[in-house]
């Protein structure tokens, strides 16, 4: 069993007042801590558990600069067997398609029975890389997976639907699953574990090594502007007796075209 996990390093913005940088296309990240994308941590934990149960080989992959090796080191410390970083100066502001394209070009030549990704990335929330990657590889996929069982070359997964519904699917391997939070409890990595893998090789590949031309990873979606939503006028508090309130509500509805 060979498992590939796609990881992303993202800024931690849960308790930060975000600001847009002068380009109008990015969030200011100066001074922000960077962490492993939360949904990816569940995908990584699931892969490590599969390894512990079955002896699977786990390969972790990321697209980014040298600073993004931090999440790969974390994954190696948690039990991943090898790590690969895709980096090229021509990969500027890649969209979901460009990321999926380079990942597909790498993974197609790697042994892979199972590909795990997080449901979405905390910094953009597009949730497109996983399904696009599966389509490019020509393999089945399921999203929002909350339970995963492997047996006999097939996977039995439970996934979330709308309105609190769930469904159970049987999927033939190789397949890709985007992992939802709550499927497991990610473990903490120890300092000793990080030190143990500090000098472990991380393979770095560019577009040429992958056999890709820059035109092949040109973004299909271009971000024009990033901005905070405009502040509304606020709520109107209606006071008075029942008849007064009802009359005022009726006026508002009539003015708004509701009635």
pTM: 0.84
Q: pLDDT at position 2, please?
A: 97
pLDDT digits (tens, 9 = 90+) for 19-52: 888 888 778 878 788 899 999 999 999 999 999 9
- At 221 the three-state DSSP class reads coil
Q: pLDDT at position 98, please?
A: 94
Strands 141-151 and 175-179: parallel
Give residue limits of the domains in the chain: 2-217
Q: pLDDT at position 88, please?
A: 93
pLDDT digits (tens, 9 = 90+) for 197-210: 988 999 999 999 99
What is the rounded CA–CA span in Å between residue 59 and residue 3? 6
- At 172 the three-state DSSP class reads strand
Q: Which residues of the chain have pLDDT under 50?
A: none
Fold of 2-217: Rossmann fold (3.40.50)
What is the rounded CA–CA span in Å between residue 234 and residue 181? 34
């Amino acid at each position: 069993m060979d498992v590939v996990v796609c990881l992303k390093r993202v800024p931690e913005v849960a308790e930060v007042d975000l600001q847009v940088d002068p380009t109008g296309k990015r969030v200011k990240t100066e001074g922000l801590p960077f962490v492993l994308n939360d949904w990816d941590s569940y995908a990584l934990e699931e892969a490590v558990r599969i390894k512990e149960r079955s002896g699977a080989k786990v390969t972790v992959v990321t697209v980014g600069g040298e600073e993004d090796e931090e999440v790969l080191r974390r994954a190696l410390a948690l039990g991943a067997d090898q790590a690969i970083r895709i980096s090229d100066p021509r990969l500027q502001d890649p969209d979901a398609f460009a990321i999926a394209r380079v990942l597909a070009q790498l993974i197609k030549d790697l042994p892979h029975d199972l590909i795990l990704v997080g449901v979405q990335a905390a910094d953009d929330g597009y949730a497109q890389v996983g399904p696009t990657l599966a389509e490019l590889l020509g393999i089945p996929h399921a999203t929002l997976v909350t339970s995963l069982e492997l047996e006999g070359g097939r996977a039995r997964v439970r996934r979330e639907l709308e309105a609190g519904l769930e469904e159970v699917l049987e999927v033939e391997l190789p397949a890709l699953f985007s992992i939802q939070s709550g499927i497991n409890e990610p473990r903490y990595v120890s300092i000793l574990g990080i030190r143990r893998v500090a000098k472990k090789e991380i393979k770095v590949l560019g577009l040429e090594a992958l056999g890709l031309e820059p035109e092949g990873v040109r973004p299909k979606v271009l971000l024009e502007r990033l901005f905070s939503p405009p502040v509304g006028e606020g709520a109107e508090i209606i006071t008075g007796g029942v008849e007064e309130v009802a009359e005022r509500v009726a006026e508002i509805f009539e003015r708004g075209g509701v009635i």
